[in-house]
Each structure stands twice: as structure tokens, then as C-alpha cells.
């Protein structure tokens, strides 16, 4: 096809399609349909994605919720002293409760202590920039945005320490943005 052809012959839909092109278009269409119907299957049966909720919030509103949770559920040691790790409070909320975790330059606040085989609703938001919530080694990944409260239901099934890593570049201190969830057997 050249520019020397009359306009009626330059229109692409007037050009006949070859057999090879029809075969490849058919293969691509069938593959797209397979992938389309596999997405709900993977979501339900593949345990690939977390079901979560999102709500609009403001940093001030969410900070009030975090502070109230820390005040109410801050963990104490055997002597009754408040527990801290790296200057951050350790919070031990009861099973089945709503837990608030705040992302801000460059930390996750506070440190959570959860019970094994118990369900918790984890509320996440960012105070400043876009952050990533990556729970390792479980490989749970969420995008945390300012102005939105992400809610995820989690039930840890193994005791141990889990690292929270920010996997969205958030500035010069991004590599230091770590948090922690401690899962205990009680």
C-alpha cells in the first residue's frame, strides 16, 4: 500500500486480511478470554490478593485514632513498664480489634504485637507521601496513599517477627523506612 493509491484504497478496513493474521487474532482473543476468566478464579481460590477496603480520611483524623490505640493498648513488661523498641511504642491490641498503622517519613508507627491465629483489621494510611506496605516474608503488598485509609483483615498463622518494608520510593530516607509486626503465641 502506498500513498499513490486513491483514498478509497488507502482505508485500512478495505484491505483484505490474510489467513495468518486471522489465526493470530483468534489466538490472542482466546488467550485474553482465558486470562479474563482466570482473574476472579485466582482472586478467590489462588489466595493471591487480599480483599481490602478503602476509605477517605485526613492525616489529623487518622493520627487521633493511632494515638488512642497506642494509649489504650501499649504493651507493658513484667514490671509494668511501657515497652518500646527503637524509640517506638509496642502495641498489643486484643484479638479481633481494629489496629491502626501509620506510614510517615521514614517509619511505620507503632510496632504491633499480634497473637497467632487471631484475626485483626489493620488500618493503614500515609501522613505525607505515597508509601508501600510490604510485609515480609509473607509477601503482602499494598499501596498506601495520603488521604485514604486502607483496611485489610489479617490472621497471622506463624509466630515470629515480620518486617514491614516501604516498597514505593518516598524520598532520601526511603531505605530506612522499616516497621515491625511481632506475632506471639498466647
Report the share of the chain in percent with pLDDT over 70: 92
What pLDDT is stored for residue 49 in this prediction?
A: 61
Question: What is the torsion angle, in degrees rounded to the nearest 10, for the CA atoms of residue 186, residue 81, residue 122 and residue 182?
Answer: -50
Q: Indicate if the pLDDT at residue 50 is higher than 90.
A: no
Placement of cell 523498641 in the chain: 85
Q: Indicate if the pLDDT at residue 12 is higher than 80.
A: no
Q: Are 123 and 150 in contact (CB under 8 A)?
A: yes
> pLDDT digits over 29-38, tens only?
999 999 999 8
> pLDDT digits over 97-155, tens only?
999 999 988 899 999 999 999 999 999 999 988 999 988 888 788 889 999 999 998 88
Instruction: Collapse the DSSP code of 26 into the 3-class scheme (helix H, G, I; strand E, B; otherwise coil) and give the result.
Output: helix
Instruction: Give Cα separations from 185 to 42, 117, 121 (angstroms).
Output: 31, 8, 19
| Averaged pLDDT, 61-71 | 93
Closest CA to 115 of 88, 89, 92: 92
> pLDDT digits over 78-89, tens only?
777 888 888 888
DSSP 83: P
Q: Which of the pair, 12 or 174, is modelled with greater confidence?
A: 174
Q: Supply angle C-alpha 120, 125, 131, rounded to 5.
A: 115
| Averaged pLDDT, 17-24 | 91
Closest CA to 116 of 89, 83, 92: 92
Amino acid at each position: 500500500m502506498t500513498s499513490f493509491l486513491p483514498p478509497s484504497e488507502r482505508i485500512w478496513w478495505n484491505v483484505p486480511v490474510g489467513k495468518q493474521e486471522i489465526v493470530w487474532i483468534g489466538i490472542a482473543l482466546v488467550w485474553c478470554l482465558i486470562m479474563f476468566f482466570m482473574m476472579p478464579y485466582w482472586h478467590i481460590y489462588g489466595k493471591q490478593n487480599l480483599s481490602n477496603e478503602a476509605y477517605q480520611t485526613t492525616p489529623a483524623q487518622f493520627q487521633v485514632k493511632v494515638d488512642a490505640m497506642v494509649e489504650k493498648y501499649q504493651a507493658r513488661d513484667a514490671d509494668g513498664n511501657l515497652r518500646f523498641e527503637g524509640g517506638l511504642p509496642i502495641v498489643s491490641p486484643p484479638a479481633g480489634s481494629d489496629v491502626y498503622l501509620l506510614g510517615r517519613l521514614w517509619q511505620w508507627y507503632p510496632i504491633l504485637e499480634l497473637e497467632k491465629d487471631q484475626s485483626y483489621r489493620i488500618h493503614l494510611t500515609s501522613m505525607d507521601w505515597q508509601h508501600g506496605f510490604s510485609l515480609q516474608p509473607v509477601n503482602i503488598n499494598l499501596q498506601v496513599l495520603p488521604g485514604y485509609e486502607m483496611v485489610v483483615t489479617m490472621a497471622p498463622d506463624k509466630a515470629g517477627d515480620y518486617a514491614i518494608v516501604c516498597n514505593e520510593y518516598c524520598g532520601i530516607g526511603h531505605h530506612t523506612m522499616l516497621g515491625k509486626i511481632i506475632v506471639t503465641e498466647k
